[in-house]
Amino acid sequence: MSVLKILVYPDKKLREITVPVVEFNAQLQQQVASLFETMYDDDGCGLAANQVGLTARMFVMDTSRDKSNPICMINPEITHRSGIIMSDEGCLSFPGVYTSVERAEQITVTFQDVKGQKQELCLTELAANCVQHEMDHLNGILFIDTLSKLKKDRMLRKLAKSLGA
C-alpha cells in the first residue's frame, strides 16, 4: 500500500474514460488498498482510479463519519435513479473548492467487489451523491461541467487561489 499522488485539474488524465476491469488479482487488490489509503490520507469520502492516473474502471468510497464503511466498486453501473436533490460537493482533484450539483436522490448500483463478485446496493443521501460523483469521474466528467461559464470561472479562480497560483 502507498499514498498516491492525486491529479489536480486541469490534468488531462481526469478527462479520460476508464477501462473495465477484467482481471481480479493481487495487483488489483494492491491498487484498491492504495486508493483507500490515499482517500483517507486526504480526508476524502470517495476517490476514482483515474484521479490517481490509473485507467481501471473502479473507485473507493467511505461516507461513514468514523471511516468504518469502506466500499470498493469495480465496473459499477447505476440501474435505477429516482428523485432530484441539490447537494454541495467538493472533489480531491479540486482542492478547497465546493459547488452545488444536481443529483438523483436515490440510486441502485450494481458492481463487482475486489474479488469479482457481483453486488447491488440501494443508496440515498451522501452515499448516493458520492457514487454519482465518482462514476462521473470514471466517464471523464467533472463536477464543473454542469456549471455556467460565470460559476465555472469563479470556481477556477478559487482553485487557483487554493493552489497558491
Closest CA to 13 of 61, 55, 73, 59: 55
102 is annotated as an active-site residue: no
The partner residues of 47 in beta bridges, in order of sequence, read 60
The C-alpha atoms of residue 127 and residue 64 are separated, in whole angstroms, by 9
List, as residue ranges, the binding site: 91, 133, 137
| Annotated catalytic residue, options 16, 89, 125, 134 | 134
Cell of 82: 429516482
DSSP E strand stretches across 19-115: 46-48, 58-61, 71-91, 94-112
List, as residue ranges, the binding site for Fe cation: 91, 133, 137
The C-alpha atoms of residue 60 and residue 119 are separated, in whole angstroms, by 14
Contact status, residue 113 vs residue 119, Cβ threshold 8 Å: yes
The residues assigned a catalytic role are 134
